[in-house]
Structure 1
Amino acid sequence: MSDKISKLLEVAADRTVTVIRGITDDQLTAPTPCSEYDVHALADHLFQVVVNFQALAAKRDADFGVAPEHLEGEWRERFADETVRLVAAWGAPGAEEGTSGAMGLPARTVGAMVVGDLAVHGWDLARATGQPYEPDPALVEMLGEEFAALAPTAREMGMFGEPVPVAEDAGPFEALLAVTGRDPHWSRP
């Protein structure tokens, strides 16, 4: 697989869109591995991320301050459409170069963040709704490297929780989830 952010996003989005389409209305109030979010709030957050990171790909600022309500009408299909736009935005010439938006971070790091959001929150939502989720190994490898470097800053910013201890023989995705502060063995109540 290519290590271009747009290609990684395509793979992550494909798996996460499948999970989003599988969420039923009666599951929207279910808890998730992110204790501050139920399924509705996490899906809405992820929708906001997908939209805002399109702007960041184009080197524009994004507004994460006010979260509009995205889960109305045919929101599952709108989410799928927005992921297509996200992939296209990160596939545009220059998207991975320079710095991105007010974050002042290298564009590739910002791109890796949205790949990670799709993969990790895709897992969160799958776990919360009893769906299968198997991330692509190449995607997990890239995220493992990026998130290991990003983790201290992400914790300071409140984006990652404290790391969760895992067994020495934990798989790469379990280790990645643990770095973000998630219990890889979380199960819905």
Structure 2
Amino acid sequence: MYETEILADEKVPTIEIVREFDATPEQVFRAHIDPELYRQWVGPRSLTTRILKWEGHTGGCWAFANDRAGKEIAAFFGSFHEVRDNERIVWTFTYEGQPDSVALETLTFEGRDGGGTRLRVLSVMSDFATRDGMLSSGMDVGVKEGYDKLDELLGQRTGPAQQHLQDAAVFTALVVSALPEDWSRPSPVSDWAAIDVVKHLIEWSRGFLAGGAGIEFQTLDIEADPKAAWRQHVADIQAILDDPSDRVLSNPHTGDMPVDKAIAMFYTADIWMHSWDLAKALGLEPDLGQERCAAALDAMRPMEQMLRDSGQYGPAISIGDDASAQDKLMAFIGRDPHWKAQVPGD
């Protein structure tokens, strides 16, 4: 993994950022202009990004918000001055909390000799005070961690390992945000409290892997410390995905398949879906990604009857055609998209 250089000019109010990647300029460019990819890596690891508007072309505009455990803590907006495919992006960048301080950023994607990409970001601000205030705000942490995440997204981890890393991180942020009294809050799943969502993900997946692949796990006391149990569980599953070796999972219903593929197909998708349940149980508004929700719904519709017969999902809930892809997906699997926990004292 490469280091990120952040340079402040003494003569003009600019910040220059230089970072190299072992990926093509086309791949690095796409990760900046595709909103679904961009939201996965931008910013520090402690935050998630929610795209509010994205018109990734010359003359378009954009806006996104940063959330911690489902609560918005910062929002940004700007416009695309120029988008030159795989070569250059010029955009304005404004923090909503300081709307008079507008930065003009130029991103260039340079192919390196021998392969890879050198990304250069030149940010020009109106004065030194604004520039120095940004530098002292801790922006370097967000920039460096963001590019580390981009490195992972581009190839440090790939396939099932990368997907689990991303989805488990979102669920972990929710788990960490919960107070002790939150675990008894009702969830959108009938007869489940918030802690039951965590229990379900831990218990069924460990049993599934132990029975089908002979992978033994330590027993976790979820009731005593849900946060510690979840963190250990995530580490256990990630270790398998990072080094699946030649392990095979055998199951009478699915046949034989590589263990990492089985985890991705049956378990990682479950983390993603159940993050909606846990967020709702905690009184937060989840964001599963509209494009991903639409793709999941398209994949599930052809086997709707089989899914209903399996008992995994309840009866579909009627919802308007103008509803979001996320709301349509939740309604399809039997969740009320507008469900809210009714907790005394809330």
TM-score by length of 1: 0.75
Corresponding position of 1:124 = 277
Matched ranges for 1:1-189 at <5 A:
4-55=159-210, 59-60=212-213, 70-91=221-242, 92-93=244-245, 100-104=250-254, 107=257, 108=261, 111-137=264-290, 139-189=292-342
Letter in 2 for 1:29: S
Percent of aligned pairs sharing the same letter: 18
Q: What is the CA-CA distance between 1:94 and the residue it aligns to?
A: 5.7
Mean Cα deviation higher: 124-133 or 150-159: 150-159
Following the alignment from structure 2 to structure 1, what is the Cα–Cα distance between the partners of residues 297 and 245?
26
Compared with structure 1, are the counterparts of its residues 109 and 182 closer, same or farther at alpha carbon in structure 2 (3 Å cutoff)? farther
Following the alignment from structure 1 to structure 2, what is the Cα–Cα distance between the partners of residues 18 and 41?
17
TM-score by length of 2: 0.44
Q: What is the CA-CA distance between 1:22 and the residue it aligns to?
A: 1.7
Q: What is the CA-CA distance between 1:77 and the residue it aligns to?
A: 2.3
Following the alignment from structure 1 to structure 2, what is the Cα–Cα distance between the partners of residues 88 and 142?
28
Corresponding position of 1:65 = none
Write out the 4+ residue segments of structure 1 that deviate beyond 6 Å after TM superposition: none
Mean Cα deviation higher: 169-178 or 147-156: 147-156
Following the alignment from structure 2 to structure 1, what is the Cα–Cα distance between the partners of residues 285 and 200?
21
Using CA pairs under 8 Å that are at least 6 residues apart, name the structure with larger relative contact order, 1 or 2.
1
Q: What is the CA-CA distance between 1:182 and the residue it aligns to?
A: 0.7
SS in 2 for 1:155: helix
Q: How many residues align?
A: 180
Compared with structure 1, are the counterparts of its residues 147 and 86 closer, same or farther at alpha carbon in structure 2 (3 Å cutoff)? farther
Compared with structure 1, are the counterparts of its residues 70 and 42 closer, same or farther at alpha carbon in structure 2 (3 Å cutoff)? farther
Q: Is the 8 Å Cα contact of residues 316 and 334 (structure 2) preserved in structure 1?
A: yes
- Which one has a larger percent strand, Structure 1 or Structure 2? 2
Q: What is the CA-CA distance between 1:183 and the residue it aligns to?
A: 1.1
Q: What is the CA-CA distance between 1:141 and the residue it aligns to?
A: 4.9
Following the alignment from structure 1 to structure 2, what is the Cα–Cα distance between the partners of residues 156 and 94?
33
Following the alignment from structure 2 to structure 1, what is the Cα–Cα distance between the partners of residues 229 and 167?
17
Letter in 2 for 1:124: D
User: Which protein has the larger Cα radius of gyration, Structure 1 or Structure 2?
Assistant: 2
Q: Is the 8 Å Cα contact of residues 12 and 135 (structure 1) preserved in structure 2?
A: no
Q: Is the 8 Å Cα contact of residues 209 and 249 (structure 2) preserved in structure 1?
A: no
- Which one has a larger percent helix, Structure 1 or Structure 2? 1
Q: What is the CA-CA distance between 1:110 and the residue it aligns to?
A: 6.1
Following the alignment from structure 1 to structure 2, what is the Cα–Cα distance between the partners of residues 184 and 106?
36
Following the alignment from structure 1 to structure 2, what is the Cα–Cα distance between the partners of residues 94 and 115?
20
SS in 2 for 1:103: coil
Letter in 1 for 2:162: K
Structure 1 residues 23-64: Cα deviation after superposition (integer angstroms, max 9, x where no partner):
2221222211101212222221122134235447xx5279xx
